[in-house]
Structure 1
Amino acid sequence: MTPHPETSRPGLSRRLPAVLAVGLAMVISQGIAGPTAAAPGPSSGQASAQAAARSGDSPLDDGRYIVMLKDKPLATYSGGVPGIPGTAVPKGKKLDPSGPNSRKYDAHLKAKQRQAAAAKGVTITRSFTLAVNAFSAVLSAAQIKGLASDNNVLAVVPDSLRKPDYSTSDFLGLPGGDGVWEKHFGGESDAGKGVVVGMLDTGYSPDNPFFAGDEVKSLSGRSKVGEPFRLQDNVIGMQKANGGTFVGTCVSGDGFDGTECNSKVLGARFYDQAYKAAVPPELRSPLEKFSPLDVNGHGSHTGSTAAGNSDVTQVAGGRDFGKSSGVAPAAKIAVYKVCWEGAVPEATGCLESDILNAIQDAVLDGVDVLNYSISGNNNSTVDAVSLAFLNAAAAGVFVATSAGNSGPFAGTVNHAGPWLTSVAASTFDNSLRGTAELSNGAKFAGASVMSTEVNSKPIVLAVTVKAAAAVDANAALCAPDTLDPAKAAGKIVVCDRGVVPRVAKSEEVKRAGGVGMVLVNLTPGSLDADLHSVPTVHVDDPKIKDVVTANPGLTASLKATDTTGAKLPPVPQIAEFSSRGPTLASDGDLLKPDVTAPGVAVLAAVSPIGFKGEDFGFLSGTSMAAPHIAGSGALLLGKNPQWSPAAVKSAIMTTAHDLVNADGAAVHDVFAQGAGHVDPAKFSSPGLVYDAGIADWMGFLQGQGFQLGVAPIAAKDVNVPSIALGALAGSQTVTRTVTAVTAGTYRAAVTLPGITATVSPAEVTLAEGESATFTVTFTTARAALDTYSMGSLTWTSSENSVRSPVAVRPVAP
């Protein structure tokens, strides 16, 4: 969805189950994780919240919860229970849930789940054993506390309702004879070949050309990499680049008979059990289809961005925007619809237990990449979905997530888990511009995709043409039914941004007979190229209101180009709405977001149901940025099928470049951009990678206070391609390990204002595949206390530059 929902319906949350109306309150062992400060301190770790729960200060609501147990799920169980061998399989191999060992261990986990539930009088709603060891249930406050005290329980979390947070392929330099696909990935037809990208979202629009494909036939002869074959009427298989086999199912439902899958979309499932249990029928949208069909448009947009077909002509609002492609056009898509439209905003979203079920199926089906453009929390790494993704990553699945749309405020970034790649959003194009030309000579340029212009019409503030019964504040926002047709007809109406969805404002102007709209940011914010009901220019300069107020007889023209003659805004800049670090999880010793990708006014597939018959539309948000990274992961795994998810993440991060500010100067704000902007021309040859796996992540959880029986790893020492210290008092040392993708001698250098950093060893010579462990010792020098110093650690060879973002916050000893 767009980064600024701009909707408000006070009181409606009371009509939903209590657990849907509260934020994520996590019960860990014997405690509840409470809020933490934007500058993390020693007490902000997840395990430290246990004391708060014992004090009884935090109220718990009855409602739907997910209870996670400590034993490993099938995806990562390597043995240890007497009589039950391990069930985890090597990368490229499919877990067989019906195999004898899997059945035994599944029964073992479910028995322990039933035992834990029965001890507290709990009835299990749904059990999960594949990607996460958990069950969902309706719990009372007393049952929550009782389960949290069980030594076999890892955490208890609400079954929360999450929100789904022209050519970007040209901007990234992907197509063409000199493009990235041709130079680094074997050409367009091989870009992502043999890789399956799973989309956890609102479904897809099967008739969109981005998802077009051939009918899949039964296998004749031996299977070939990247060539699908039909197993049953609605089941499609494909040999993958890593030697494994993907098997997808096309599930029928409302308006979807299960025959729509093809050689592009190999599977389409939907998950509505928890949503239907939590949201009563009267609060569900009458347009929603309980099937893989997309009503909202969000899922079609993200899926086509990640792996849509190439050379698709996009026409939006009657205007031809040329051809575009998904980032990995040769990759295949698997759809897992988990998000649903409500009749009110509070009933729109994605239930975590439905998401868990989808993740399990995605891992079992054999996806290589998952895109998750859905909201999360900003103060924990151990919610149920995050832990399910941990196990998916351990099974070889690269996971890209949206960083969140709560910027520019500090400490708002989501998805802190080190096994996830959290993606910030940037601008990428400055051509979608229009101008409001006033008859006194003043010009105000902004974002616009109008297909027709408006010439010499009266321009008025919305509040001056309001309906008699309308409140001034609502009329200024062009809220529904606030404008008087007798006053607004034939005029260009100036509407304030905020509260009401942007496109709903132009709908109100059209209803009242207006012929155009100027949408004004009253405070600095993003400029969005939406498809409006009337020609519209979205400007960032509220002075236009002063000019119109001072000159009541003005007319204006709306032009489809920037006619001001001013220098166009440089790109890429970080989007105003993109959530910022530092993460509030793990005492600030993890750095998020990880990387940045295009996320403002991205044109891609949408749903004609939710977009008034349009097949393509512009959306903005970190939701739009994440699939660029999912597609990047598909490119890398198509070329390097045995790479781990951590290696893919490392290659993308360490080859990224800085964004720019409004003046065009490079800006190294790691809490905005992470490692920087993705650079497909470089990430196929990263030189070194920071690899990691299940042992690292389980050690990290142990270090966070969870008793998993493994050696603890401090958050600062998890082997990620970034470094963060939330509280540097004197000196601290961090440890990392690099593995050579390209042989050579690499020398380290650290740039970090006010901090002394010593790398040991500062030079390593590695053969391809060889690894080296090093330390970096940080010591406070002249840096200001309680303020982050931002910089980078770079390993340089004759061929490669391997850069990692660094953020260190000195504090008083």
Structure 2
Amino acid sequence: MSRALAAALAAGVGMSALALPGVSGLSGPAASAAPPAPHAGEAGDARLHLVTLTGPGSAASDRVFPSGPTRELARQQRLLDRVGAPEPVYRWTTALSGVAVDLTDAQVRALRAEPEVALVEPNTVRPLAATRTRVVHPAPGTGRDTGGAGTVIGLVDTGLHPDGPVFSGSPGLGRAPRDFRGSCVSEPDWDQSACTDKVLAAQWYVEGFGRGRLRAASSLSPRDDHGHGTRTASIAAGNSDISVRVGREDLGRHSGAAPQARLAVYKACWTAPDPADDGCASADLVTAIDRATADRVDVLSLAVGGTPASPGPDNPDGVDTVERALLGAAEADIVVVAAAGNAGARSRAAHPSPWVTTVGGATGVQRRGRVVLGDGTTLPGAMASSLRVGPAPLVLAADVATRGADRDRARQCAPGSLDAARARGRVVVCERGLVSRVDKSAAVGLADGAGVVLVNTRRGSVDADLHRVPTVHLGRDNGARLRDWVRENPGALVTLRPEGARRPASKVAGFSPTGDPAAPVLNPDLIAPATGLLSAVPPGAERWAFTSGTSAAAAYTSGIAARLRARRDWSAAAVRSALATTSAAVPGSVLRTGAGRLRSDLAARPGLVHDLDPGDYRRWLEGSLGRHLNTPSIILRRDRDVARRTITNVGRQPLYFSSAASGFERYDVRVTPAAVRLAPGESATYTVRVSGPASGARPVDDGVVTWRGATGTRTRVPVLITR
């Protein structure tokens, strides 16, 4: 037995993710000086595995096991000693009981045969749920905003860059959280001053990813060297009334979805030399979730996608270790929100567990602009700027290359490739590729260009970004027309004309994934704004950017969840229900939309909620609840199937609520009772029954059960009918 474990057992330490030599996330010089733990390729044929023991962690079992983690640490060690396993990289006792440890194949087989072991799986690296698609959407809140006071949002992401007014401490944050236990590490790149009244805690975990796989510039601290964590944090809980200015553009004021909420940062996602290798190791994710659960955050936001686990001989229920850790967080009455992923309609949504609010992506407001040619022809595109440019001479970037520059680099407006003497005062045509879109406009701005027309040379998105100079982005066909025109009309004048914002009907974003019709619960739960949310970024050429992806949608939803927790004395399950059942209908299958698009203005008054005891999740997982877990969604398996749900009046007066089933095309769906009268806090159980279909009808159908309250509330419950 190690000295660290022996000391912990002797003291009865209640540590989440007990850190041992070589484990990041500790404070003090001993931790930073420890060598990394051996992993695959460093310890023979041993590879890092995640081992989960049966039963809940201490967050859900303190009433049963008063000794808390001491008992679980001893149980872990007995199993490891039995198979001759080395000292674990991580130990978990709060959200779940388990370890991350290097194991040989023989040790894996031996542990899987142990009755006290629920799951053994290899450590894997998962992608962040971010996408490069960027269309403009307004900030989640604008101007002076409030909400979220007294709550803590735990963000499992790439860390945080805390400098600047977006994350500064302020008396305007309101009351402090009562039960939060988190703390800040102290590192050369993150000292104690980085934590404020706004940023209450910061930890980092890297051993699963591997220090040897890091990019050279990676910061071994909670500091964000990627940018993703800073963006999601500002969307979820950025301070209110922050001035946003990019170049000559005044974009007004910014606020996060819950500007008075505090932040707890758990860095578990890292950058590699090849961006394709960036991601979040499952061992680090579980450690971050375990620590956040021990810290008692109110909302846990996870911006990680990845393919859901499938049932198999070694994992019969198909629930992986990350999902089991999230179960422990839900059992601790934490609202768990996670991104569905960004692989598109042909992929399966991540996090298909009923204790996770899985968020898909919805499109939002778009800003458009046009290039007006000298002959009056207009070419439409995307444009974030509100500044008109021109008439001004139009030039191809390759024709204003600086002396000695590679012509291809100039054509794509790479930094330093343009001659200021020839680009000054002109609108420069830049081709997409080689460098980021905003780097192209920055290069034109440094060369004193008046504006940019960014053109696609192949099929791809058309995006409104925050550029250094006004920019219109054209698609492939209009880009080709423009290039042909400027060659035929050298020196001709053009105008870049902004057309402002438009709000098309909300729909599912193309990158948002689809739920599995064979799954036991409906997934995703809902969709939320996921295209072009204004967000803060680490210092660089600019401090702001537009962020897209289901990670942005999950961050926004996490902020709204924090507002609900601050405003209403609801359980985490009730908050999850309110977020989903007040959502607005969106065209498409419920496998893409879930309950619909999040309505933050209605979530605080849902009328009814589907509440449950957090222990029901584990009972459902173990099979003792059957299919009647009280989720705010329903899956029925064709003819004569039945589901039961319980609703609770969370209003302040007795009310009648009437039910209706709608949207079903192939089956007959009936709800009983047709109406109920409920006093405040009173509950009733209803039954949804399916019959049909007509001979030859397709086997899949979907619709919604709606409960209408006498005060105008609508509680929408999506229903999928499948095989």
* Shorter-normalised TM range: 0.7 to 0.9
- Per the alignment, do residues 766 and 343 of structure 1 end up closer, same or farther by CA in structure 2, a change over 3 Å counting? same
Alignment of 1:699-778 (within 5 A): 699-703=619-623, 711-714=624-627, 717-725=628-636, 728-742=637-651, 743-751=654-662, 752-778=664-690
User: Given residue 595 of structure 1, which amino acid in structure 2 is its aligned partner?
Assistant: L
1:86 aligns with 2:65: yes
Aligned to 1:359, what secondary structure does the other structure show?
helix
- Per the alignment, do residues 736 and 259 of structure 1 end up closer, same or farther by CA in structure 2, a change over 3 Å counting? same
Q: 2:118 maps to which residue? A: 154
Cα distance between partner residues in 2 of 1:542 and 1:462 = 20
Find the partner of 1:252 among 186, 197, 204: 186
Cα distance between partner residues in 2 of 1:522 and 1:789 = 38
User: Given residue 649 of structure 1, which amino acid in structure 2 is its aligned partner?
Assistant: R
Cα distance between partner residues in 2 of 1:509 and 1:294 = 28
Find the partner of 2:326 among 385, 389, 404: 389
Q: 1:658 maps to which residue? A: 585
1:691 aligns with 2:603: no
Aligned to 1:294, what secondary structure does the other structure show?
coil
Q: 2:58 maps to which residue? A: 74
- Per the alignment, do residues 336 and 418 of structure 1 end up closer, same or farther by CA in structure 2, a change over 3 Å counting? same
- Per the alignment, do residues 653 and 756 of structure 1 end up closer, same or farther by CA in structure 2, a change over 3 Å counting? same
Alignment of 1:551-570 (within 5 A): 552-554=487-489, 555=492, 557=494, 559=496, 561-562=498-499, 568-570=502-504
Is residue 109–residue 133 contact of structure 1 (8 Å, CA) maintained in 2? no
User: Given residue 543 of structure 2, which amino acid in structure 1 is its aligned partner?
Assistant: D
Q: 1:42 maps to which residue? A: none
Is residue 249–residue 266 contact of structure 1 (8 Å, CA) maintained in 2? yes
Shift of 1:172: 6.2
- Per the alignment, do residues 723 and 168 of structure 1 end up closer, same or farther by CA in structure 2, a change over 3 Å counting? farther
Cα distance between partner residues in 2 of 1:19 and 1:593 = 35
Q: 1:575 maps to which residue? A: 509
Shift of 1:428: 2.9
Shift of 1:307: 1.6
- Per the alignment, do residues 798 and 214 of structure 1 end up closer, same or farther by CA in structure 2, a change over 3 Å counting? closer
- Per the alignment, do residues 550 and 174 of structure 1 end up closer, same or farther by CA in structure 2, a change over 3 Å counting? closer
Shift of 1:342: 2.2
Cα distance between partner residues in 1 of 2:48 and 2:493 = 54
Shift of 1:159: 1.9
Cα distance between partner residues in 2 of 1:615 and 1:632 = 24
Show CA shifts across 1:347-377 (max 9, x none). Answer: 4222222222222222222211111112233
Q: 2:149 maps to which residue? A: 193
1:602 aligns with 2:581: no
Q: 1:623 maps to which residue? A: 551
- Per the alignment, do residues 289 and 684 of structure 1 end up closer, same or farther by CA in structure 2, a change over 3 Å counting? same
CA RMSD of aligned residues (A): 3.9
Cα distance between partner residues in 1 of 2:647 and 2:383 = 46
- For structure 2, list consecutive stretches of 5 or more residues without a partner in the other structure: 1-37, 311-317
- Per the alignment, do residues 733 and 483 of structure 1 end up closer, same or farther by CA in structure 2, a change over 3 Å counting? farther
Aligned to 1:273, what secondary structure does the other structure show?
coil
Aligned to 1:259, what secondary structure does the other structure show?
helix
Aligned to 2:573, what secondary structure does the other structure show?
helix
1:273 aligns with 2:207: yes
Normalised by the size of structure 2, how large is the TM-score? 0.81
Q: 1:806 maps to which residue? A: 719
Find the partner of 2:169 among 198, 201, 213: 213
Cα distance between partner residues in 2 of 1:141 and 1:552 = 65
Show CA shifts across 1:544-586 (max 9, x none). Answer: 42463477324564626128xxx94515333222x232236xx
User: Given residue 567 of structure 2, which amino acid in structure 1 is its aligned partner?
Assistant: K
1:399 aligns with 2:336: yes
- Per the alignment, do residues 410 and 471 of structure 1 end up closer, same or farther by CA in structure 2, a change over 3 Å counting? farther
- Per the alignment, do residues 227 and 635 of structure 1 end up closer, same or farther by CA in structure 2, a change over 3 Å counting? closer
Moved more, 797-806 or 539-548: 539-548
User: Given residue 598 of structure 2, which amino acid in structure 1 is its aligned partner?
Assistant: V
Q: 1:58 maps to which residue? A: none
Find the partner of 2:75 among 85, 89, 109: 109
- Per the alignment, do residues 806 and 401 of structure 1 end up closer, same or farther by CA in structure 2, a change over 3 Å counting? same
Shift of 1:482: 13
Is residue 62–residue 68 contact of structure 2 (8 Å, CA) maintained in 1? no
- Per the alignment, do residues 788 and 316 of structure 1 end up closer, same or farther by CA in structure 2, a change over 3 Å counting? farther
- Per the alignment, do residues 782 and 542 of structure 1 end up closer, same or farther by CA in structure 2, a change over 3 Å counting? farther
Aligned to 2:189, what secondary structure does the other structure show?
coil
Q: 1:790 maps to which residue? A: 702
User: Given residue 306 of structure 1, which amino acid in structure 2 is its aligned partner?
Assistant: A
- Per the alignment, do residues 147 and 447 of structure 1 end up closer, same or farther by CA in structure 2, a change over 3 Å counting? farther
Shift of 1:391: 0.7
Shift of 1:390: 0.8
1:436 aligns with 2:371: yes
User: Given residue 744 of structure 1, which amino acid in structure 2 is its aligned partner?
Assistant: L
- Per the alignment, do residues 296 and 144 of structure 1 end up closer, same or farther by CA in structure 2, a change over 3 Å counting? same
Is residue 525–residue 580 contact of structure 2 (8 Å, CA) maintained in 1? yes
- Sequence identity, in percent? 31
Q: 1:38 maps to which residue? A: none
Aligned to 1:404, what secondary structure does the other structure show?
coil
Find the partner of 1:520 among 428, 434, 456: 456
Cα distance between partner residues in 1 of 2:141 and 2:91 = 45
1:306 aligns with 2:236: yes
Aligned to 2:622, what secondary structure does the other structure show?
helix
Shift of 1:712: 4.3
Q: 2:47 maps to which residue? A: 63
- For structure 1, list consecutive stretches of 5 or more residues without a partner in the other structure: 1-16, 21-60, 80-84, 88-100, 182-187, 217-224, 229-237, 240-244, 660-666, 704-710
Aligned to 1:671, what secondary structure does the other structure show?
helix
Shift of 1:147: 3.2
Shift of 1:757: 0.7
Shift of 1:500: 6.9
Q: 1:125 maps to which residue? A: 89
- Per the alignment, do residues 147 and 684 of structure 1 end up closer, same or farther by CA in structure 2, a change over 3 Å counting? same
Shift of 1:503: 4.3
Find the partner of 2:692 among 758, 780, 796: 780
- Per the alignment, do residues 774 and 420 of structure 1 end up closer, same or farther by CA in structure 2, a change over 3 Å counting? same
- Per the alignment, do residues 769 and 598 of structure 1 end up closer, same or farther by CA in structure 2, a change over 3 Å counting? same
Find the partner of 2:266 among 336, 346, 354: 336
Show CA shifts across 1:27-53 (max 9, x none). Answer: xxxxxxxxxxxxxxxxxxxxxxxxxxx
Cα distance between partner residues in 1 of 2:533 and 2:481 = 32
Moved more, 619-628 or 567-576: 567-576
Cα distance between partner residues in 2 of 1:479 and 1:159 = 41
1:367 aligns with 2:297: yes
Aligned to 1:248, what secondary structure does the other structure show?
coil
Normalised by the size of structure 1, how large is the TM-score? 0.73
Cα distance between partner residues in 2 of 1:680 and 1:296 = 29
Alignment of 1:147-186 (within 5 A): 147-165=111-129
Q: 1:264 maps to which residue? A: 198
Cα distance between partner residues in 1 of 2:521 and 2:493 = 51
Is residue 227–residue 537 contact of structure 2 (8 Å, CA) maintained in 1? yes
Shift of 1:444: 2.6
Shift of 1:455: 4.8
User: Given residue 444 of structure 1, which amino acid in structure 2 is its aligned partner?
Assistant: L
- Per the alignment, do residues 168 and 523 of structure 1 end up closer, same or farther by CA in structure 2, a change over 3 Å counting? closer
Cα distance between partner residues in 1 of 2:695 and 2:588 = 17
- Per the alignment, do residues 160 and 318 of structure 1 end up closer, same or farther by CA in structure 2, a change over 3 Å counting? farther
Q: 1:420 maps to which residue? A: 356
Cα distance between partner residues in 2 of 1:628 and 1:142 = 45
Is residue 139–residue 255 contact of structure 2 (8 Å, CA) maintained in 1? no
